[in-house]
Amino acid sequence: MALTGLDLFKLLPKTNCGECGVPTCMAFAMKLAAKTVELAACPYASEEAKEKIGAASKPPIRLVKIGPPDYEVAVGNETVMFRHEKTFVHPTALAVRFSDTQSAEELAHLTAEVREYCLERVGEQLRLDLALVENVTGAVEPFVAAVKAVAGGTGRGLILKSDNPEALDAALQALEGQRPLIHAATPENAEAMAALALKHKAPLVARAESLDALAALTARLAKLGVQDLVLDVPAENPAVALQHNTVIRKAALKSSFEPLGYPILNFVAGDDLPALVADASTLMCKYASILVIDTLAAQALLPLMMLRQNIYTDPQKPIQVEPNIYPIGEPNENSPVLVTTNFSLTYFIVSGEIENSGVPAHLVIVECEGQSVLTAWAAGKFTGEKIAAFIKASDLESRVETRRLIIPGYVAQVSGELEENLPGWEIVVGPQEAADLGPFLKLQAAA
Ligand code: SF4
C-alpha cells in the first residue's frame, strides 16, 4: 500500500534542517508522497526509513539528465497522465538531427542556427535543447569529427546514435564530462552498450521492436547496473507511436511498472512540414520526453515552441515577470510612473499599450505571485502598503523627479492608503482597461 505524507513524515528525522532543498521534514514528506523527490535527497534518513520508504518514494518515471553542466536538460519525473491533474514537470526536449555525412561547412552553418535560435514569448526565451549526431558512415573518425563539431557549434547536450561501439566509445571520450545520451542498447547489443554507459557515466537509450521486448531489455540493463535509461520503440506511423507512448505512461503511473518507468524518445521526420508539425505536436502532447526532428524551418519550430510552452506551463502557477522597475521607451526623470502586478500577461499588455502610446514611462512591477490586478488586490497582495514599500525599497525616488504614480483604475480604492504610505507622491487613478492607457497618457503628457 502507498505510504501517505504523514506515514513518510513519521520516518524522517524531523529536524527541519533544510538540506534536502525544502525547509521542513513535513514539506519533504509531502514531496516524497507526490513522488517528486527521492529519499536520497535527505542525508540523515535512517536505515529503517530507507528500507520502508525505498520503493514507495521512487518517482514512477525516472529523472534523466543529459548534457554539459551549463546546458543540462532534465527529462522524466512526471507524475500525472493529464496536465490538469497537477502539472507536467519537464518540457519535451527538442533535439535536432545531424549526421557524420554532412560537410564541416554545413555543420558549422546549421549548428550556429541551433545555437542562436530563440523565440521570446511572454517573458520566456524558448530554445532548442539537444542535438543528435548519427553515425551514418559507421566509421569512427568521421563520427568523432562530427560529434565535436556539433557539440562545439551548438553548445548543447548530444545524443550519439551509432551501432558501432568503437565509434561510440571514441565519441564519448571526446565528450568526457558532457553526459551525452547513448543511442541505443538493443536486445542484441545490451551488454556492450551497458558497459559503455557505465564506463562513461552516460545515460542510455533502450530500443526494442515491441513494448514487451523493451520491458525485458530495460530490466536486463537495470540488472547490469544502468539506471538512467530512455525508451525508444519504433513505430510504423504516428498513431502507433501515440499508442506506445500512452501505454508506457499508463504502465509507469497507474501500474507502477518499473521496466517502463523511464522517459520516452520519439523521432519525427519527413519533407512534408505540416505533417511533421502535426506528428510532433501529437507526440509532444502525449508523452514524448525527447523529440528528434530533422528540420530547422521557422514555420515548424514556431508552433512547436508555442505548443510546448503552453503544455508545460504549470496550471497552478501563473506565468510571472520579475518584480522590477521597467523602462518602457526611453523614459527620463520627468516621465510618468505607472504601477501594476507581475502577472506576465498584465505586464505585456500594459507595457505594449505604453509603447504604442509613444509616451515613455517607468513601469513599476510589484511582486503579487503572478496574479492579475483585481485578484491580487482581493488577496491582499496589491495593497497601498505593499506598493509603497516596494517603491521605497527601490531606487526609483532617486532616479526620477516625477512624484505622480498612476495606478490601475480597478484598484482606485488603494489610492488613500498609498498617499499615506508614500508621502510627497500624488496618486492618479488610471483607466480600468489597458486599451485606454494610450489616450490617458497622451492627455497626462499634454496637461
Ligand atoms: S534533509 Fe532530512 S532532516 Fe533535513 S529537512 Fe530534509 S528531510 Fe528533514
Q: 134 and 78 in one domain?
A: yes
Is 273 found in the same domain as 152?
yes
Whose CA is closest to 131, among 99, 100, 157? 157
Among candidates 183, 217, 202, 229, which has minimal Cα distance to 62? 229
What is the distance between the alpha carbons of residues 131 and 119, in angstroms, rounded to a whole number?
A: 18
Looking at the structure, tell me whether residues 167 and 203 fall in a common domain: yes
Ligand 1, atom 2, lies closest to the CA of 42
Domain co-membership, 73 together with 220: yes
The DSSP H or E segment spanning 229 is strand 229-232
Å from CA of 416 to ligand 1 middle: 46
279 lies in the same domain as 401? no
Among the residues of 364-414, which ranges form H helices?
A: 373-378, 384-393, 396-399
Residue 18 Cβ inside 6 Å of ligand 1? The answer reads: yes
Q: How far is the CA of 10 from the centre of ligand 1 (A)?
A: 12
pLDDT given at position 83: 85
Does some domain include residue 318?
Answer: no
Q: Considering only CA atoms, which residue is closest to atom 4 of ligand 1?
A: 17
Nearest 5°: phi and psi at 306?
-70, -40
Residues 6+ apart with CB under 8 A from 269: 97, 276, 293, 294
Q: Are residues 149 and 203 in the same domain?
A: yes
* Cβ of 15 less than 6 Å from ligand 1: yes
CB 121 within 8 A of CB 306: yes
* 3-state SS class at 330: coil
Ligand 1 within 6 A of CB of 30:
no
Query: In the structure grid, which three cell numbers stand for residue 140, read together?
Result: 569512427
Tell which atom from ligand 1 comes closest to the C-alpha of 41.
Answer: 1
273 and 339 fall within a common domain? no
Among 8, 11, 15, 38, which is best to mutate for testing ligand 1, by the most ligand atoms less than 8 A from CB? 15
Using CA atoms, how far apart are residues 417 and 13, in angstroms rounded to an integer?
46
**What's the pLDDT score for residue 1?**
53
19 and 134 co-located in one domain:
no
- Distance between Cα 320 and ligand 1 center (Å): 29
Helix (H) or strand (E) holding 125: strand 124-126
Give me the domain span that covers residue 18.
5-57
Element housing 361 (H / E): strand 361-366
Q: Is 23 in the pocket of ligand 1 (CB under 6 A)?
A: no
Closest of 201, 249, 193 to residue 221, by C-alpha: 193
Helix (H, G, I), strand (E, B) or coil at 385: helix
Residue 152 lies in a domain: yes
268, 279 contact by CB (below 8 A): yes
Domain with residue 52: its CATH number is 1.10.15.40
To the question of pTM greater than 0.85 for the whole model, the response is no
pLDDT of residue 405: 96
Is 412 within 8 Å of 343 (Cβ atoms)?
no
Assess whether 100 and 172 both reside in one domain.
yes
Residues 268 and 335 in one domain: no
The pLDDT of residue 222 = 97
User: C-alpha angle with apex 263: 113 to 172, nearest 5 degrees?
Assistant: 60
Give the pLDDT score at 320.
86
How many separate domains does the chain show?
Answer: 3
Pocket test for ligand 1, best of 8, 10, 14, 20 (most atoms within 8 A of CB): 20
If asked whether residues 284 and 397 sit together in one domain, one would say: no
In a structure prediction context, what are the per-residue pLDDT tens digits for the chain, which is 447 residues long?
A: 567 889 899 999 999 999 998 999 999 999 888 777 888 889 999 988 888 887 666 778 999 999 999 999 999 999 889 988 888 889 999 999 999 999 999 999 999 999 999 998 877 899 999 999 999 999 999 999 999 999 999 999 999 999 999 999 999 999 999 999 999 999 999 999 999 999 999 999 999 999 999 999 999 999 999 999 999 999 999 999 999 999 999 999 999 899 999 999 999 998 999 999 999 999 999 999 999 999 999 999 999 999 999 998 877 777 788 999 999 999 999 999 999 999 988 999 999 999 999 999 999 999 998 899 999 999 999 999 999 999 999 989 999 999 999 999 999 999 999 999 999 999 999 999 999 999 999 998 877
